[in-house]
Amino acid sequence: MPAEKSWHLNRRDVLRGTGGIALGLPFLEGMSAGSDAKSETDLPKRVCCMFFPNGVALPPESNEHHDDWHWFPDGEGSDYKLNKSTASLEKHRGDITFLSGLSHPTGRKMAGHGVSDIFLTAGAVDPNAYSNTVSMDQVIADQIGEETRLKSLALSCGGGVGTSGRTHTLSFTKNGQPIPAEDSIRRSFNLMFGKDSTSLKDARQELVLKKSMLDRVLEDSRSLKNKLNSRDRQKLDEYLTSMRDYERRIQRMESWLTKPKAEVDEASISIDATSSTMEDYVRATYDLMFHAFQTDTTRVITHMLGIEGGGSKTDHFPEALGLQTHHSLSHRKGGDFKDWGVWDQFMNQNFAYFLDRLKNAQEGDVSVLDRTVIMYGCGTSTTHLARNYPLILAGGGKLGISHGQFRKFDENKTRLSNMFVSMMNAVGVPTEKFGDSTGDLNEIFRV
């Protein structure tokens, strides 16, 4: 290879050089797929969007639990105070921003639980209309996903797609179709880091055949077009788009076939944790995301930490801490906000753990966190009320985000989708408008 720079390393060499101990290798410059040499500015930019259901404890000021358990901090700007529920985030003050007042205007008219469907799409989901629009992460993945083994990764403690109004996934395709999210730690791990059981030759042969099959089906399907009326043609178009996208995925798989998967020690993660071992499981999802980013296996992740409303398996998560189900906690009004606050605290501690790991992983001169834009939040504040989303923006310090404040917004002036626009620009996806956006959030995102 001509003029190979000294830092352009082969992953295997690195492994050997460290006696095979280094596992979950950080992304190093020059090791990205299909590139010969890259400058510092080509270090990956990443985005991660996380959602939790059912709102947060917001005891009114008159309530005895206000000071301890009110999710939003006390104060404003850089002069804000965290409480018991958010204390774990104190050490990340310089890497996070609390946001209040933001929401999706279309969601304000919906029954609160349904807002999870549009959390990342800002679309208008009428319970009777069943249509959604593309989610922000997928627009980003289309632009920056080509560089990595997985264009994007959709995780969810619920798994699958769920139903309209009770989504189990945050990610939606260009057609507004839900993308099934993975809830198994083992399956996700295998997808990204697992050893394949088929030989390279067989795998390549399979892909060649698949491409040939799909080409032929596509060719044959086009002839249908002029036999259909306009409504049916829309249906066929949806099919053709899906088929073409799938074909592209096959092509990608082919180009990644010869490149070894990143090595991550299976023992470093609770690989068989499931929702019945809640604490291990939630942590394992964060470990998965960390490894996915650090090894540059993907740059775009969505993660649904729980499903809205009652009755789902994630609704039982708080029971592992001796609390009521999440939905019952969220309906507890009256005096006692404490249990709900304890749950919020647990969630924030896990989020802080994720930030810790990203912060402690270096790439070049900065941390992985510095180049990862993270949004963490929910589509309702108090139960059933889809306004004033509790939101934390984290990371991306080297992508132009200035942190350290509690920012309050006026919902009549600023929409959540405005922040999406800024997030997209920050990770290198030039965007003027997303969904119902009316501008950007450049007061936080220095351009």
Give residues 191-250 in contact with another protein (rule: CB under 8 A).
194-197, 205, 208-210, 212-214, 216-217, 220-221, 224, 226-232, 235-236, 238-239, 242-243, 245-246, 249
CB atoms within 10 A of CB 116: 31
CA-CA distance, 77 to 156, in Å (whole number)?
A: 33
Task: Map the footprint of another protein across residues 307-336, applying CB under 8 A.
Answer: 310-312, 315-316, 325, 328, 331-336
Taking CB under 8 A as the rule, which mask of x and - marks residues 60-99 in contact with another protein?
----------------------------------------
Q: How many residues bind another protein (CB under 8 A)?
A: 81
Residue whose tokens read 């991306």: 396
User: CB of residue 143 vs another protein: minimum separation in angstroms?
Assistant: 17
Residues 356-385 that bind another protein (CB under 8 A): 383-385
Nearer to another protein, 168 or 359 (CB): 168
- Complex with another protein: residue 7 or 130, whichever CB lies closer: 130
Interface positions, 22-41, toward another protein (CB under 8 A): none
CB nearer to another protein: pick between 234 and 402? 234
Report residue 31 as tokens: 């090791």
* Token code pair at residue 193: 């880091």
168 versus 371: smaller Cβ distance to another protein: 168
Least CB distance to another protein at residue 40 (A): 34
Residues 143-202 that bind another protein (CB under 8 A): 160-161, 163-164, 173, 175-180, 186-187, 190, 194-197
Question: Dihedral of CA 57/58/63/64: which sign?
Answer: positive
**Is residue 131 within 8 Å of residue 407, measured between CB atoms?**
no
Per-residue contact string for residues 247-276; x = within reach of another protein by CB under 8 A: --x----------------x----xxxx-x
Minimum separation from the CB atom of position 250 to another protein (A): 9
Instruction: Mark the segment that binds another protein (CB under 8 A) among 17-25, 83-91, 306-314, 415-423.
Output: 306-314
Q: For residues 105-124, which are near another protein according to CB under 8 A?
A: 108-112
Instruction: Indicate whether 386 belongs to the interface with another protein (CB under 8 A).
Output: yes
Nearest to another protein of 43, 140 (CB atom): 140
Contact 389, 381 (CB under 8 A): yes
Closest contact distance (angstroms) between CB of 9 and another protein is: 25
Question: What is the nearest approach in angstroms of another protein to the Cβ of residue 229?
Answer: 5
CB of 5 to another protein, least distance (A): 34
| In the complex, minimum distance from the CB of residue 336 to another protein, in angstroms, rounded to a whole number | 7
Q: What is the largest CA-CA distance in the chain?
A: 71
Shortest distance in whole angstroms from residue 328 CB to another protein: 8
What lies within 8 Å, CB to CB, of 402 at 6+ separation is 444, 445, 446
Of the pair 94, 311, the CB lying nearest another protein is at 311
